[in-house]
């Protein structure tokens, strides 16, 4: 598969400029800093597809979506107009063979914007991570953390090894699902606290999109909301919140949920939980997924700090508990499904893991600075005493 320099350059430059604008506008980074972060992210797929592309990193799902998007593109479909033409949606449903049509349309949009090559949806995925980062920044601020904390967490999230691994090389829908999931959590959290219409509209939009890309995510989100209400809200408000969450759970169940229930494991759930928490195992990464090898090693190294950071966040932030609840619900859900126990299916809650890792090292640095200041003050006091004696 050939990639022209012009096509790759267009995708990389557009992605970098879009990311810089998002970071400068919504995360309040200076333009040089925003451009540095966005350019670094865009440079990874640019260099990979220009010089290091390997056929071994082509999977099954990614090619299916890419070929479907190309088929729509070469038939002259406009990604915007086809949504409003009488037969446009039906063409998408025919291509998807069911309700999972959003990522086919997403691939059509990518090749329409950047050119008919495999790298186009990858660049669009990288662009979507900036939207996820901006929403994470808003979520952390809304959870009563300081602006500097939220800004550095957002930078770590955007440059995190897991996010870079899954978004920079292969055309998978999980990055888009991550963006929709964090949007739903932020919108739902702020809807509960502010009751503003715009958050309700954002939540409804994200939930509708899930039906067309990964239908069971709304079920996990509503269960997480129910747990959050139980853990953080008292009295009649808790009962009302749980009731609404259960209603949302029922409404978000797919019509064929009983067929999916047959796939639930009846065996070792504890093994599934351990596997979902600790995967990927560095010694068991298959060659076609070797792009996640560095991330798998770092995941194991930082698992302990992540647990300690999560505990600290849980005790001091009631709003973080919603994100934590979704992470645990996701882990438990896939622990029951052996066929889906992969780190890819954990990607849509990646921001929770990154937040926990970041919080541990943030406070570790604060403690070092605290004791460093005390040591410097004691040393200065000692020198003053010695000077007085002499």
Tokens of 219: 């079920």
Q: Give the pLDDT score at 354.
A: 98
Q: Give the pLDDT score at 335.
A: 86
Tokens of 124: 């669009």
Give the CA dihedral 238, 241, 242, 247, nearest 10 degrees.
160
The pLDDT tens digits for 73-101 are 999 999 999 998 888 899 999 998 888 99
CA 191 to CA 200: how far, in whole Å? Answer: 6
Residues 6+ apart with CB under 8 A from 199: 186, 187, 188, 190, 191
Q: Give the pLDDT score at 342.
A: 81
Q: Which of 148, 127, 123, 155 minimizes the C-alpha distance to 8? A: 123
Q: How far is CA 244 from CA 183, 227, 267, 312, in A?
A: 19, 12, 32, 29
CB 81 within 8 A of CB 88: yes
At 173 the three-state DSSP class reads coil
The pLDDT tens digits for 112-163 are 999 999 999 999 999 999 999 999 999 999 999 999 999 999 999 999 999 9
For the whole model, what pTM was predicted? Answer: 0.89
Q: Which residues of the chain have pLDDT under 50?
A: 236, 256-261, 369-375, 377-378, 381, 389-390
Q: Give the pLDDT score at 5.
A: 84
Give the CA dihedral 135, 139, 140, 143, nearest 10 degrees.
170
Residue 284, number of CB atoms within 10 A of its CB: 9
Q: C-alpha angle with apex 199: 193 to 203, nearest 5 degrees? A: 115
Residues 6+ apart with CB under 8 A from 98: none
Residues 6+ apart with CB under 8 A from 308: 360
CA 340 to CA 347: how far, in whole Å? Answer: 12
Q: Give the pLDDT score at 349.
A: 97
CA 276 to CA 345: how far, in whole Å? Answer: 9
Residues 6+ apart with CB under 8 A from 261: none
């Amino acid at each position: 598969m050939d990639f022209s320099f012009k096509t790759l350059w267009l995708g990389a430059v557009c992605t970098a400029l879009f990311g810089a604008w998002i970071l400068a506008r919504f995360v309040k980074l200076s333009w040089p800093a925003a451009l540095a972060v966005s350019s670094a992210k865009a440079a990874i797929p640019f260099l990979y597809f220009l010089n290091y592309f390997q056929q071994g990193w082509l999977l099954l799902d990614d090619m299916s979506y890419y070929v479907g998007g190309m088929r729509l593109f070469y038939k002259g479909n406009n990604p915007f107009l086809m949504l409003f033409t009488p037969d446009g949606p039906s063409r998408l449903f025919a291509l998807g063979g069911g309700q999972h049509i959003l990522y086919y349309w997403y691939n059509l949009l990518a090749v329409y914007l950047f050119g008919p090559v495999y790298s186009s949806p990858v660049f669009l995925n990288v662009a979507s991570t900036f939207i996820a980062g901006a929403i994470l920044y808003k979520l952390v601020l809304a959870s009563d953390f300081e602006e500097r904390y939220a800004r550095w967490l957002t930078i770590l999230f955007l440059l995190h090894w897991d996010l870079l691994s899954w978004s920079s090389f292969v055309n998978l829908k999980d990055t888009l699902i991550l963006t929709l999931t964090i949007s739903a959590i932020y919108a739902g959290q702020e809807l509960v606290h502010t009751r503003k219409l715009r958050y309700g509209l954002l939540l409804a939009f994200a939930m509708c999109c899930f039906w067309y890309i990964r239908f069971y995510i709304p079920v996990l989100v509503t269960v997480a909301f129910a747990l959050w209400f139980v853990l953080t809200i008292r009295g009649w408000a808790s009962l009302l919140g749980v009731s609404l969450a259960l209603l949302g759970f029922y409404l978000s169940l797919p019509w064929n949920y009983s067929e999916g229930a047959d796939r639930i494991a009846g065996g070792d759930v504890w093994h599934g939980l351990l596997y979902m928490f600790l995967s990927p195992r560095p010694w068991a990464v298959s060659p076609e997924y070797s792009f996640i090898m560095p991330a798998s090693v770092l995941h194991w190294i930082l698992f302990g700090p992540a647990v300690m950071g999560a505990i600290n966040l849980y005790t001091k932030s009631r709003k973080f508990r919603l994100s934590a609840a979704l992470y645990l619900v996701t882990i438990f859900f896939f622990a029951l499904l052996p066929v889906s126990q992969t780190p890819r299916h954990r990607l849509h809650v990646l921001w929770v893991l990154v937040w926990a890792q970041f919080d541990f090292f943030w406070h570790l640095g604060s403690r070092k600075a605290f004791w460093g200041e005390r040591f410097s003050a004691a040393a200065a006091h000692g020198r003053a005493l010695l000077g007085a004696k002499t």
